[in-house]
Chains A and B, each alone.
Chain A
Amino acid sequence: MNEEIIIAGFGGQGVLSMGKILAYGGMMQQMEVSWMPSYGPEMRGGTANVTVILSDERISSPILNRFDTAIILNQQSMDKFESCVKPGGVLIYDPNGITREPQRKDINIYRVEAASEASKMVTSKTFNMIVLGAYLKIKPVISIENILQGLKDSLPARHHHLIPVNEDAIKRGMEIVTTVETHGYASPS
């Protein structure tokens, strides 16, 4: 198994922490993992992205320009990363703020209305967990138990009471993700 993921959006959307939880979850499953953030101006507002690699083998390059999966959360990232999905790969996006829908016909495209759903939840900060849920539904590479364990390990203890809220958000994301375009990839239903 080798899954190369880019998660891209605005700073503050929880892009980096979503990647971190995936990486922790991968570790729980005895995978090799790498987490390479964009750092610098992105961290201070503007666009942010993180490359996460989950693999059964030793990971070579932590920096890539082609991905199995792109999770795209704003228009700038759509412009930059839509073309970087490998043919037959997966693109998951939140249509909120997207002015140009993805155009590719050789990849599998899924929508998750995470921003709109998050506004209805206890706290809208669960946005990134809704997106994570959508991803795990399409690509169940990590079990929900290991993701929750990863969440526990990556959150400071004072925030552990929020884990159930995050779990709900992950499950909600799994429910609301919809298929836009499929091309060669059958996600488990």
Chain B
Amino acid sequence: MADKKLMKGNEAFAEAAIRAGCDAYFGYPITPQSEVMEYLAAQQPHLRTGMVLLQAESEVAAINMVYGAAGTGKKVMTSSSSPGISLKQEGISYLAGSQLPCLILNVMRGGPGLGTIQPSQSDYFQATKGGGHGDYRMIVLAPASVQEMADFVKLGFELAFKYRNPVMMLSDGIIGQMMEKVEMFEQMPRATEFDQRWVTTGKTPDRERNVITSLDLDPARHERHNQKLQAKYQLMRENEVRFETIACDDAEYLFVAYGSSARICQKSVKLAREKGIKAGLLRPITLFPFPYDEIDRLTKQLKGILTVELSAGQMIEDVKLATEGRVKVALHNRMGGMVPSPEEVLDALITHFSI
């Protein structure tokens, strides 16, 4: 068995970045994800793998550095927390439009505005429905443990390059700050060969010039580009849905929650079962693409669904789309950095469905 370490979620993410063969990290510090850059700096990744670590002058600069470096085919990433991720939205839209692969981590905190530094999940709409302008999507991975903060770095890069698209890891202050045991994957080499069909590493005599841009003033051509993007997003919907179900086989009531909320609901499921309430948990691992089909399938056996979110209720809209009104979907939420206890969540289930 590989060596297990006790690490914070943010540290596990940073260590995984080095091990995944990441070529460059560009970022700007913000609570609650500052440990990412702190850990990277302490590790001196330029000595370990040759990876570049750069603290940019702002979040806007960082995401544009990601754009530039991604254009050369390199594995690049950035991380921030909610207000910083808002600043990056223009760059993310350009990355999506230009079909550039990269990994972006959002360790969410409460908003709107500067909000609070405490955990939140109120950037769900921004991450899954396109936070910047234009019709684009990102694959959104929602880690619920320190282990997944590490594993999803590797997975995130694989998906980013498979689809030539930005991938976001949507985490929060709880998962970022907590420490758990983590088993790290082995060091992977940094890539030395790049896909010559699109990278801008200098034109070689045997191929056409590659152009990376999101601008096209010819509407017909630009519509075709949009159709191509939409076809790609459709492929993601068909191939990349990921979720975990806990105690769903005989469940009459279902919690739907992701990330830290899903951890809280795991305990609520246990407490419910102790009281004889047949509760289960569906945890979306990908928020885009969303597991509509699995929720649709489970709907037939359910008396009620409770979505649990650290937001005013954002993911609940997708849950309702999946159920199409066939079962009552209720919300239990906390906002502004507050977090519900497992008992509170169970009480909400009992109240909403008069169990």
A and B: interacting chains: yes
- Which residues of A are found within 8 Å of B268, using beta-carbon distances? 61
Asked if B264 contacts A61 (CB within 8 A), the reply is yes
Asked if A34 contacts B180 (CB within 8 A), the reply is yes
A66 interface residue (CB < 8 Å to B): yes
- Which residues of B are found within 8 Å of A33, using beta-carbon distances? 6, 179-181
A63 interface residue (CB < 8 Å to B): yes
Using A32-B181, A63-B260 as known contacts, say yes or no to A39 and B342 having CB atoms under 8 A apart: no
CB contact between B343 and one of A23, A62, A66 (< 8 Å): that residue? A66
- Complex Cα gap A20–B174 (Å): 16
Q: Scan A23-36; emit 1 where CB is below 8 A from any B CB, else 0.
A: 11001000011111
In the complex, the number of residue pairs spanning A and B with C-beta atoms less than 8 Å apart equals: 70
Interface size class of A (residues with CB under 8 A): 20 to 34
Give the Cβ gap from A40 to chain B, nearest Cβ, in Å. 5
Asked if A37 contacts B270 (CB within 8 A), the reply is no
B321 interface residue (CB < 8 Å to A): no
Asked if B6 contacts A39 (CB within 8 A), the reply is no
Asked if A40 contacts B117 (CB within 8 A), the reply is yes
Interface size on B, residues (CB 8 A): 26
- Complex Cα gap A183–B267 (Å): 27
- Complex Cα gap A36–B264 (Å): 13
Greatest chain B CB density within 10 A among A32, A40, A64 is at: A40
- Which residues of B are found within 8 Å of A122, using beta-carbon distances? none
B4 interface residue (CB < 8 Å to A): yes
Greatest chain A CB density within 10 A among B4, B178, B179, B260 is at: B179
Residue of B nearest to A53 (CB): B180
Give the Cβ gap from B156 to chain A, nearest Cβ, in Å. 23
Q: Scan B92-124; emit 1 where CB is below 8 A from any A CB, else 0.
A: 000000000000000000000000011000000
Asked if B179 contacts A23 (CB within 8 A), the reply is yes
CB contact between B179 and one of A32, A35, A66, A153 (< 8 Å): that residue? A35
CB contact between A27 and one of B4, B339, B343 (< 8 Å): that residue? B4
Using A40-B117, A60-B263, A64-B342 as known contacts, say yes or no to A27 and B181 having CB atoms under 8 A apart: yes
Asked if A60 contacts B178 (CB within 8 A), the reply is no
15 A-B pairs (CB sep. < 8 Å): A20-B6, A20-B179, A23-B6, A35-B180, A36-B177, A40-B32, A60-B263, A61-B267, A61-B268, A63-B260, A63-B263, A64-B342, A65-B341, A66-B343, A153-B6
